[in-house]
Amino acid sequence: MSVIQDKFLIPVHFSNEHKNMLAHWKQMLEYNDGVVAIHPRFNKLITALGTVVENGEGILDKEATSHDDLFGAFRMSLQFWHSGPSVLILTSKV
């Protein structure tokens, strides 16, 4: 059995979704005391989140944001998570 058989892809078009994804990550981390916990091992992700610069129109300033590619992957990973009673935890265990 192939590992690929059990996987599926959902295309994400940043040109259409970037503003929504930027607003959504802010909601997940800032409102209701946040629902995302990140292990300190992911220091580049923590740096990326701490350096996010928005230009005021809901558009990410990639040049001013450290590790913007990692931040983009993080935004995509949160796309199907919604705030509620559960908590998303990124741990060092793989």
The tens digit of pLDDT for each residue in 25-51 reads 888 877 766 777 888 999 999 999 899
Indicate whether 94 belongs to any domain: no
Q: Give per-residue burial for 57-90: e unless 16+ CB within 10 Å, then b.
A: eeebeeeebebbebbbebbeebeeeebeeeeeee
Q: Does position 88 have pLDDT exceeding 70, yes or no?
A: no
Q: Does position 78 have pLDDT exceeding 80, yes or no?
A: yes
Indicate whether 92 belongs to any domain: no
Indicate whether 53 belongs to any domain: yes
User: pLDDT confidence of 94, banded at 50, 70, 90?
Assistant: very low
Residue 42 parent element (H or E): none
As for how many domains the chain has, the answer is 1
With tokens 């409102």, the residue in question is: 31
Residue 71: domain span: 24-32+43-81
Indicate whether 90 belongs to any domain: no
Indicate whether 86 belongs to any domain: no
Task: Quote the pLDDT of residue 90.
Answer: 55
The answer to pTM > 0.85 is no
